[in-house]
Amino acid sequence: MVVRMRHTRAHTANRRSHHALKAHALIKCECGAARVSHRACPVCGRYNGRVAIDLVAKTAARLAKRNKREGSKSETQSAQKAK
């Protein structure tokens, strides 16, 4: 580190005075759940009155993926037990 690059503690503290995190602006969805404003609801998938995310299809796809993965894992475990 070059000496010229060094800042005083006050300089560093002044810069960091703007680094505080703000809480997300949570609003109540029409389904009653709390959600981040300007984002689709993670509970019902609605945004601005319409369904933005098809959560039924999404959950089904996730479950199918998990079943496929765990199915192959249990197959390898049973194969190892057979040996």
* Residues lying near Zn ion in the complex (CB under 5 A): 29, 31, 33, 41, 43-44
**Minimum CB–partner distance for residue 12 and Zn ion (Å):** 43
Say how far apart CA 73 and CA 28 lie, in whole Å: 41
Of 49 and 71, CB closest to Zn ion: 49
Of 51 and 61, CB closest to Zn ion: 51
Say how far apart CA 51 and CA 63 lie, in whole Å: 21
Of 51 and 64, CB closest to Zn ion: 51
Phi, psi (rounded to 5 degrees) for 75 = -65, -45
Query: In the structure encoding, which two tokens stand for residue 45, read together?
Result: 């998938």
